[in-house]
Structure 1
Amino acid sequence: MVGVIDTTEAASPGLADTIATWATDVMERLGAPGAGILIALENLFPPLPSEVVLPLAGFTASRGEMSLLAAVVWTTMGSLVGALVLYAIGALVGRERLRAIVARMPLLTLHDLDRSEAWFVKHGRKAVLLGRMVPIFRSLISVPAGLERMSLGVFVLFTTVGSLIWNTTFILAGYALGQNWRVVEEYVGMYSKGVLALVVAAAVGFVAVRLARWRRPTEETAEASGPRG
Structure 2
Amino acid sequence: MALSIEFIPAEIVLPLAGYWVSKGDMTLAGAVFAGSLGGVSGPLVLYGIGRLGGRPFLLKYGKYIWIKPETLQKSDDFFQKHGGLVAFSGRFIPGIRTLISLPCGIAKMNVWVFSLYTYAAMLPITFAYVYLGMKLGENWKNVGSILDQYMLPLGIFIAVLLVSYIVLKRRKQRVKTENISQFVKKVKR
TM-score (norm 2): 0.70
Counterpart amino acid of residue 39 in structure 1:
L
Of structures 1 and 2, the larger Rg is shown by 1
Question: CA offsets per residue over residues 114-146 of structure 1, 9 Å max, x none?
Answer: 444443333211111111222111121111111
Structure 1 gaps, min length 5: 1-36, 195-229
Question: CA offsets per residue over residues 79-108 of structure 1, 9 Å max, x none?
Answer: 1111111111011114343222212x1555
Q: Shift of the alpha carbon at 1:60?
A: 0.9
The answer to whether residue 12 in structure 2 is matched with residue 52 in structure 1 is yes
The structure with more helix, counted as a fraction of residues: 2
Partner Cα separation in structure 1 for residue 41 and residue 30 of structure 2: 16
The answer to whether residue 25 in structure 2 is matched with residue 65 in structure 1 is yes
Q: Shift of the alpha carbon at 1:64?
A: 0.3
Structure 2 gaps, min length 5: 154-189
- What is the match of residue 38 of structure 1? 2
Given candidates 37, 51, 55, the residue that maps to 1:91 is 51
Given candidates 34, 39, 52, the residue that maps to 1:79 is 39
Root mean square deviation of aligned Cα: 2.4
The answer to whether residue 61 in structure 2 is matched with residue 101 in structure 1 is yes
The answer to whether residue 87 in structure 2 is matched with residue 128 in structure 1 is yes
Partner Cα separation in structure 1 for residue 148 and residue 121 of structure 2: 19
Question: Identity rate of aligned residues, in percent?
Answer: 36
Aligned residues: 153
Alignment partner of 2:145: what SS? helix
Q: Which has the higher contact order (CA 8 A, sep 6+)?
A: 2
